[in-house]
């Protein structure tokens, strides 16, 4: 009997679990940082950029920070408009929006990577919308993530 070579394979289920864990971590973190005076929305953007880059690593795709910013901008008016609302200094409004946009972004990027990175992101609008609704229905569960106080990266970094 011929011996098979030892190969490490990350199956789809493991990738999905890692991606889901990252999305939930970044979502919980978004709820913490968005209300930080002076940093809030910029730190939220940094959190989201790092989420995109880390999701790329889960799917063995190199996504640079500048590419991540491009992905954010490709999500369209709903994402951009909702993110802009986080500039209003009113925590009951900021927190669910920051958490919803972050989780929606994470779920979209996960699906985008799983489907081979198609150029047209409009096919993922339903994924985004469903994720935002999921956060709103389960906000306390997301808020209580044990990693919420751990940054995904340098939240003071400015992305253009």
Q: What is the pLDDT of residues 3-24, one digit of tens each?
A: 554 444 568 899 999 999 999 9
Considering the entire predicted model, what is its pTM?
A: 0.89
Domain membership flag for residue 8? no
Angle of the 91-114 helix axis to the 40-58 helix axis, nearest 10: 20
Q: Where are the alpha helices (DSSP H) in 64-138?
A: 65-73, 77-85, 91-114, 125-137
pLDDT at 148: 96
pLDDT at 3: 56
- Distance, CA of 154 to CA of 6 (rounded, Å): 37
* Arithmetic mean of pLDDT, 87-103: 92
* Arithmetic mean of pLDDT, 53-71: 95
SS3 115: coil
Domain membership flag for residue 151? no
- Distance, CA of 101 to CA of 82 (rounded, Å): 7
Q: Which residue has the higher pLDDT, 113 or 122?
A: 113
* Mean pLDDT for the chain overall: 90
pLDDT at 142 > cutoff 90 = yes
Domain membership flag for residue 63? yes
Q: Tokens in use for 107?
A: 């779920």
Sign for the pseudo-dihedral over CA of 24, 25, 28, 31: negative
Domain membership flag for residue 153? no
pLDDT at 88: 85
Tally of structural domains, the chain: 1
Domain membership flag for residue 5? no
pLDDT digits (tens, 9 = 90+) for 29-59: 999 999 987 678 889 999 999 999 999 999 9
Which DSSP category does 34 fall into?
T
Domain that holds residue 131: 13-143
CB 52 within 8 A of CB 70: no
* Arithmetic mean of pLDDT, 67-80: 86
CB 19 within 8 A of CB 110: yes
Best-predicted range by mean pLDDT among 37-51, 71-85, 124-138?
Answer: 124-138
Q: Which residue has the higher pLDDT, 59 or 76?
A: 59
10 Å Cβ neighbour count for 109? 32
Domain membership flag for residue 3? no
Residues 6+ apart with CB under 8 A from 87: 40, 41
Q: Which residue has the higher pLDDT, 58 or 85?
A: 58
């Amino acid at each position: 009997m011929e011996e098979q070579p030892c190969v490490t394979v990350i199956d789809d289920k493991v990738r999905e679990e890692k991606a889901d864990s990252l999305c939930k971590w970044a979502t919980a973190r978004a709820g913490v940082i968005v209300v930080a005076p002076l940093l809030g929305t910029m730190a939220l953007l940094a959190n989201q950029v790092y989420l995109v880059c880390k999701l790329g690593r889960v799917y063995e795709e190199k996504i640079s920070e500048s590419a991540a910013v491009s992905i954010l901008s490709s999500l369209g008016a709903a994402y951009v408009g909702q993110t802009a609302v986080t500039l209003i200094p009113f925590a009951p409004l900021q927190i669910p929006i920051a958490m919803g946009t972050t989780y929606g972004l994470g779920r979209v990027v996960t699906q985008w990577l799983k489907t081979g990175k198609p150029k047209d992101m409009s096919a993922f609008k339903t994924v985004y919308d469903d994720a935002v609704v999921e956060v709103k229905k389960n906000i306390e569960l997301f808020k209580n993530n044990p990693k919420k106080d751990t940054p995904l990266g340098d939240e003071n970094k400015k992305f253009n």
